[in-house]
Structure 1
């Protein structure tokens, strides 16, 4: 990832390199927002600190690409919180994006301990949030965190996403206004989940892909997604990639500093 990060730094720009009014406004007002004082952040920060100190140990069922840090299936909660949860600045970014686009239905692939889920859920408490997690023990903990934070709009779906995702979408025919992909950091599953969700998008839908430079497979998946004919705008922030399907936009790929 080091070489990829230096390439990103070399090619990335800021608001002065953006000619699209939609992307310029999104970048200056949301992505790089200077003031973001959401009152929900305080309780979520406290929960994060608590999890980072927790010596509770759970058995992990890892159906994805695995961890680079810990190969054992027995892991402490503080290790998961440190290595698997997105840093606070990304939770806040997702919260701002959701407040901006006001999705009615949100989907997350890869719940983990539920911190990022809560950042998204709290941004639109009247919306429906469906989060998918393959590991029963992790899902159980996340569910406890949702109850504790009074996040009544979240429904957690436990099981192998390879079967739970297509089954859920076919059964509910849910339109996806906002989706966050953080489940299986390999090429084939990432592309398959993306294409499984495509029939349910709308013009204003927003997809976010996590760790797009985590491995050569993930970078290849990101290139595939950028080139897809239904994708019009992508924004590469190195750690994550934003994808838009706005038919009124000229197809463009942006690499921007965050």
Structure 2
């Protein structure tokens, strides 16, 4: 926790809002999407989906494949507690929906479904198709039930390890407008997934990496990712790192408070 507090303090010292942004693309993204105050109708779906989980006292046995949890000491966990401590916040879920809508995302991929709160935020825009992969079968079962309950028919949930699915994506030469990396908060796997999925990006794709300041390892992974020659624009929002591949842009890095 000390590491993250220090990282957040450093972020605040170096971050900015829309003022002084010299990139028209990033300025529009920040003012028209990040800071959009519209009360979108889709927010009701996202809020109800999340509140439903927060009221669920059933316990499930969780299988962690990633960096593990700093909150839970046991693999037997109440659903409401997973939603509250490991799930995306409502604030971030709304932002994820706005990004999907603003960038006109049609085909998306998520690594790490968990209970599906972020999935619901992405798929709340019914024009967006989402393929999401979850390693833990019990967690995936809850998410699948939620998707059906909230009629999110545009989500295709795969339960299992990431690698076979990623290898299949590479084999099929599939392209995605958005890839959300939220399944393994460790340096090496994050870099490996990034490298493997890089061919799935096109000029207007966005990759979003969750918890880039989770640890020193994740910060190093973020530094390597944003310095990759194919990455033209990178945005650090502290919780997330966003990268864009726009060949027409000069390479720039931003730290934006959201």
TM-score, length-scaled by structure 1:
0.96
Other-structure match for 2:79: 77
Aligned-residue CA RMSD in angstroms?
1.1
Other-structure match for 2:121: 119
Secondary structure at the counterpart of residue 5 of structure 1: helix
Following the alignment from structure 1 to structure 2, what is the Cα–Cα distance between the partners of residues 43 and 204? Answer: 27
Other-structure match for 1:224: 224
Other-structure match for 1:49: 51
For residues 186-212 of structure 1, give each alpha carbon's deviation from its aligned partner in whole angstroms, at most 9, with x where no partner exists.
Answer: 000001111111011100001101011
For residues 158-208 of structure 1, give each alpha carbon's deviation from its aligned partner in whole angstroms, at most 9, with x where no partner exists.
Answer: 1111332222x0354321111100000000000111111101110000110
Give 1:126 shift: 2.8
CA 1:219–1:193: 2 relative to 1, 3 Å: same
Other-structure match for 1:102: 104
Asked if 1:161 is matched to 2:162, the reply is yes
Give 1:104 shift: 2.1
Range with greater deviation from structure 2 (184-193 or 157-166) = 157-166
Other-structure match for 2:30: 27
Mark the runs of 5 or more structure 1 residues left unpaired by the alignment: none
Asked if 1:17 is matched to 2:38, the reply is no
For residues 80-105 of structure 1, give each alpha carbon's deviation from its aligned partner in whole angstroms, at most 9, with x where no partner exists.
Answer: 00111111111111111111111221
Following the alignment from structure 1 to structure 2, what is the Cα–Cα distance between the partners of residues 254 and 85? Answer: 26
Following the alignment from structure 2 to structure 1, what is the Cα–Cα distance between the partners of residues 80 and 167? Answer: 32
CA 1:127–1:257: 2 relative to 1, 3 Å: closer
For residues 45-99 of structure 1, give each alpha carbon's deviation from its aligned partner in whole angstroms, at most 9, with x where no partner exists.
Answer: 1232221122101011110000000121111101100111111111111111111
The question of whether the paired residues in 1 share the 8 Å contact of 2:173 and 2:199 is answered with no
Following the alignment from structure 2 to structure 1, what is the Cα–Cα distance between the partners of residues 70 and 182? Answer: 15
Mark the runs of 5 or more structure 2 residues left unpaired by the alignment: none
Asked if 1:245 is matched to 2:248, the reply is no
Other-structure match for 1:6: 9
Following the alignment from structure 1 to structure 2, what is the Cα–Cα distance between the partners of residues 40 and 254? Answer: 28
CA 1:70–1:176: 2 relative to 1, 3 Å: same
The question of whether the paired residues in 1 share the 8 Å contact of 2:177 and 2:202 is answered with yes
Following the alignment from structure 1 to structure 2, what is the Cα–Cα distance between the partners of residues 132 and 57? Answer: 21
Other-structure match for 1:64: 66
Following the alignment from structure 2 to structure 1, what is the Cα–Cα distance between the partners of residues 199 and 174? Answer: 10
Give 1:190-229 correspondences, 5 Å limit. Answer: 190-229=190-229
Give 1:32 shift: 1.3
Asked if 1:142 is matched to 2:160, the reply is no
